[in-house]
Homo-oligomer: A and B are copies of this chain.
Amino acid sequence: MLTERQLLILRAIIDDYIQTAQPVGSRTLSKRDDLSFSSATIRNDMADLEDMGLIEKPHTSAGRIPSEIGYRYYVDHLVETKIIDERETYRLGERLRASAQESEVLIRQAADLLSDLTNYTTVALGPNSQMNRLARIDLMPLDERRGVVLIVTDQGHVEHRTVVFDSPMAPDLVEQTIRFLNDRLKGTPLGQLKFRIGEEVAKLRLAHQEQFEFMMQLIQSTIEVQHPASLYLGGKKNIFNQPEFQTLDTLRPFLEWIDEQERLTDWLESLPNREIYVSIGSENGIVALQNCSVITSDYTLDGKTFGTIAMIGPTRMDYRHGVQMMGQIIEALRRTKLEE
């Protein structure tokens, strides 16, 4: 168990290191107003903290830096749980609402805002369209054999794909088929669309041979639509300002990783479903993010569960501020009404 003084020292080391990115020495600490002990005393405590694995030294004659365990302790015990500053939340909400009605734009804005507030990189994952329900499916003819399949969801999300048919489309056949599909499939979650279309087609198979053929083609194209969840990156440039990313060796893996949209999406979707979660250094299990910490949170928009937002910074990130800002943003989003 840590003594009162050791706690103070640990906190001071981490706070200091977060600010300066430099190892913190005993003399520096003893000069602080809130630590009125001699450097020797502090050194003794530091040795204890090191034995406990909470801090470590880069080399013999350097000061101490927090270890991952140290950060973990700091986050779990020394960072106040989120305090919503009503006025600030309101102001953030205003800035968000000023931008747009459209949920996707709103999410982007939120990511940018969070990144501006913290100077870290943010990633926001929009609603997984697999959960969206079909509002309408349509086929707009472009010419005799080409058309655009449109899939609009109840959330206003639109997927589209150009299809080319083997033979010219008969207008009334198209209309008939589309009406049929709309009648049967309205409200189907996109994730089940492929399966449900299959069912409907099967029913139809014997009855209307011609329509069947046509629909088969339609389906084949439609089901290939990948329904990617919308992903948005905010403040990617911020990484350039972090002292720990001033060398190519550290910068490159990060940039390469963050540019891989698909992997990023999978990662965000795989995160545990919680309000605010802090993952420190190697905890996140991603090699490219070894030296990063991530603050993630699911968020709701207009009351409905929506997506995930993440904030990525160096392990030496300002957890206190980060957690706070994350809290404000998701609270502001929660209170945002889409229609007004």
In order of increasing CB-CB distance, the 6 nearest A-B pairs are: A156-B162, A158-B160, A164-B339, A140-B152, A102-B162, A136-B140
Q: Which residues of A contact B (CB under 8 A)?
A: 101-103, 135-136, 138, 140, 142, 145-146, 148, 150, 152, 154-156, 158, 160-164, 236-237, 240, 246-248, 251-252, 255-256, 259, 338-340
Which residues of chain B come closer than 8 Å to A251, judged between CB atoms? 248, 251
Task: Decide if the interface of chain A is mainly helix, strand, loop or mixed.
Answer: mixed
> In the complex the two chains form, what is the Cα distance from A55 to B316 in whole Å?
47
Which residues of chain B come closer than 8 Å to A155, judged between CB atoms? 142
> In the complex the two chains form, what is the Cα distance from A152 to B148 in whole Å?
8
- Do A156 and B152 touch across chains, with their CB atoms under 8 A apart? no
- Do A162 and B236 touch across chains, with their CB atoms under 8 A apart? no
Which residues of chain B come closer than 8 Å to A248, judged between CB atoms? 240, 246-248, 251
- Do B152 and A158 touch across chains, with their CB atoms under 8 A apart? no
> In the complex the two chains form, what is the Cα distance from A158 to B140 in whole Å?
11
Q: Smallest distance from the beta carbon of A252 to chain B beta carbons, Å?
A: 5
Q: Smallest distance from the beta carbon of A162 to chain B beta carbons, Å?
A: 4
> In the complex the two chains form, what is the Cα distance from A297 to B36 in whole Å?
69
> In the complex the two chains form, what is the Cα distance from A163 to B152 in whole Å?
14
- Do B339 and A146 touch across chains, with their CB atoms under 8 A apart? yes
> In the complex the two chains form, what is the Cα distance from A164 to B146 in whole Å?
31
Q: Smallest distance from the beta carbon of A236 to chain B beta carbons, Å?
A: 6
- Do B339 and A145 touch across chains, with their CB atoms under 8 A apart? yes
- Do A161 and B237 touch across chains, with their CB atoms under 8 A apart? no
Which residues of chain B come closer than 8 Å to A150, judged between CB atoms? 150, 152, 158
Which residues of chain B come closer than 8 Å to A339, judged between CB atoms? 145-146, 164
Interface contacts beyond A142-B154, A237-B259: sample of 9 additional A-B pairs, CB < 8 Å, sorted by A = A135-B142, A136-B140, A142-B156, A150-B150, A152-B160, A156-B162, A240-B248, A240-B256, A247-B248
Q: If A142-B154, A148-B156, A156-B142 touch, does A236 touch B252 (CB 8 Å cutoff)?
A: no
